[in-house]
């Protein structure tokens, strides 16, 4: 189905159009263009979780730079992120000082290494924290609670801005993207689906300038701000299209925006 205007699309036609776009972009060759390639370097669950979380955390700006810098982060951890997180001494963290991506610097990276060890040693790991606080149909409160646990050890105040909080109005785009990677099993080998205690039906679509603009053009979103309220509106629209796997449409919105300039 070729679409030039959105006004003629009824609900069934819109779903058919977007389902076609999901099929087009939710494929293994997507990995090579996306930061998700970083956790795909690993097979151990904890390495996937940590490398994915770090890659998602710096996922703003130029995509090639994001991927390059995320791989640099992993290299500074000896290409073994979980072992580094769990066994580092304070002196080992000095090698992270050289890292910088936009406003995320070496001091932030060191805070993240300490906080991640705290999450695994005191709270049972990343999945356990999100699963413990998940609500039916939403992980937004769980993101808030994860941030609270993450920063309950001594840390720099400046580092807090690198983990968004939906309960303070953020769309939490990067962490919602990360949750898609961990929770959703797409049977194509793109998203991992390794967090089986959570359901794809609880996920929210990563909402940013690009996905928001496409969603508005398609009539899925009316609110002008890409914030928590905008995300709730987009969630509702996508759940009307597919209640069990609403965030598969992230591939459609992203592909239409980034690759097709829709």
The dihedral formed by the CA atoms of 140, 41, 191 and 31, expressed in degrees to the nearest 10: 110
Helix or strand (DSSP H, E) at 198: none
The domain boundary residue, chosen from 156, 171, 200 = 200
Q: Answer yes or no: do 133 and 177 share one domain.
A: yes
Q: Answer yes or no: do 176 and 213 share one domain.
A: no
Q: Answer yes or no: do 185 and 218 share one domain.
A: no
* 8: confidence class by pLDDT, cuts 50, 70, 90: low
Separation between Cα atoms, residue 209 and residue 231, nearest integer Å: 12
For residue range 62-107, what is the model confidence (pLDDT) as tens digits? Answer: 999 999 999 999 999 999 999 999 999 999 999 999 999 999 999 9
Q: Answer yes or no: do 194 and 209 share one domain.
A: no
Q: Is a pLDDT exceeding 70 seen at residue 157?
A: yes
Residue 196 DSSP symbol: T
Q: Answer yes or no: do 40 and 152 share one domain.
A: yes
Q: Which of 118, 122, 140 is nearest to 130 (CA)?
A: 140
Separation between Cα atoms, residue 182 and residue 77, nearest integer Å: 21
For residue range 96-149, what is the model confidence (pLDDT) as tens digits? Answer: 999 999 999 999 999 999 999 999 999 999 999 999 999 999 999 999 999 999
pLDDT, mean of residues 218-242 = 97
Find the domain containing 7 and state its range. 1-33+205-262
Q: Answer yes or no: do 93 and 143 share one domain.
A: yes
The domain boundary residue, chosen from 174, 200, 226 = 200
pTM beyond cutoff 0.75: yes
């Amino acid at each position: 189905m070729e679409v030039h205007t959105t006004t003629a699309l009824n609900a069934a036609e819109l779903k058919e159009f977007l389902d076609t776009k999901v099929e087009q972009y939710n494929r293994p060759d997507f990995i090579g263009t996306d930061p998700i390639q970083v956790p795909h370097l690993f097979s151990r669950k904890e390495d996937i979780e940590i490398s994915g979380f770090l890659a998602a955390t710096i996922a703003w700006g130029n995509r090639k730079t994001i991927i390059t810098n995320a791989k640099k982060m992993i290299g500074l951890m000896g290409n073994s992120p979980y072992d580094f997180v769990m066994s580092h001494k304070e002196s080992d963290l000095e090698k992270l000082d050289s890292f910088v991506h936009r406003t995320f610097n070496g001091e932030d990276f060191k805070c993240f290494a300490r906080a991640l060890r705290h999450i695994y040693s005191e709270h049972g790991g990343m999945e356990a924290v999100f699963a413990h606080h998940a609500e039916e149909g939403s992980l937004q409160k769980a993101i808030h609670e994860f941030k609270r646990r993450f920063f309950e050890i001594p840390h720099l105040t400046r580092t807090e801005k690198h983990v968004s909080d939906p309960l303070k109005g953020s769309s939490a785009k990067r962490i919602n993207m990360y949750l898609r990677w961990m929770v959703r099993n797409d049977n194509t080998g793109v998203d991992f689906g390794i967090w089986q205690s959570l359901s794809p039906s609880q996920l929210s679509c990563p909402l940013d300038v690009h996905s928001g603009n496409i969603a508005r053009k398609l009539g899925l979103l009316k609110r002008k701000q890409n914030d928590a309220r905008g995300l709730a509106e987009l969630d509702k629209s996508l759940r009307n299209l597919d209640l069990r796997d609403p965030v598969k449409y992230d591939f459609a919105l992203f592909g239409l925006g980034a690759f097709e300039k829709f």
